Amino acid sequence: MNHKEFAKKMSTYTILYIEDDKDVREHIKEFLSRYSKGVYTCATSEEGLDIYNLHKPDILLLDINLPGISGMDFAMSIREDDKQTRILMLTAYTDTKFMLKAVELELSRYLVKPVTNDELFLALQKCTDELEVTNIFNLGNGYSYSRKLTSIISNNEKIALRNKEIKLLEYFIAHEGDVIRYDMLESEIWGSDAVSLDAIRSQMRNLRQKVGNSCFENVVGIGYRFKVDM
């Protein structure tokens, strides 16, 4: 991939970079800003968590040795609920224990400091390749779901989803092939909010109209099964 193609891909993604060394942070921020849609920077994981919750960046670039909460602990906390955001770790460590932890956290890559622009370029390129895969879910029959756009794409047209429809679809994708009972949907999607069976069925009708009925099978009196036939 050349720099022009890379810049085009990166122009749609945002990055959070956490580094406590101001000079290093400013240098790498300048490099990242040439390509990324937006670059958020800070010196600590505590600040980074606020930025992450507010902006939901696509890529995290973390120094492992941060004051307070370490970069590794920050990555672990993110991975508890977020498997999509790509994570790059800057480290001085190359030991086996760290590499095993990197695999466990599904890091896109770890970079041994000092890192060069070329090494960072290749690592970010890997992130964009992974984001292209994880952000698009093929629903079959000409439909796909874009996690980044939180929309259905069909015939190059974008079909917007409401919040409950997004939660429903994400839940079914995560449990593809399983029979999902009505009470499971009530618990997982609505939580403590009271909801009637008619309301659940109404939400499902709206979702099915947007994604195509072929993805969902009615399990009479029980719920639904989600299965994509490619």
CATH architecture of 3-134: 3-Layer(aba) Sandwich (3.40)
- For range 159-185, the mean pLDDT: 93
Dihedral over Cα of 136, 7, 39, 124: its sign: positive
**Is 126 a residue whose pLDDT tops 60?**
yes
Rounded to the nearest integer, the mean pLDDT of the chain is 89
> pLDDT: is 81 or 19 the higher one?
19
Ordered by start, the domain boundaries in the chain are 3-134, 162-226
> What is the average pLDDT across 31-36?
91
Residues 66 and 18: beta-carbon distance below 8 Å: yes
CATH tag for 162-226 (out of 3.40.50.720, 1.10.10.10, 3.30.420.10, 3.65.10.10): 1.10.10.10
In the prediction, which pLDDT does 171 show? 93
CA-based nearest residue to 58, from 31, 82, 34:
82
69-120 pLDDT, tens digit each: 999 999 999 988 888 899 999 987 766 666 667 777 888 998 888 899 899 9
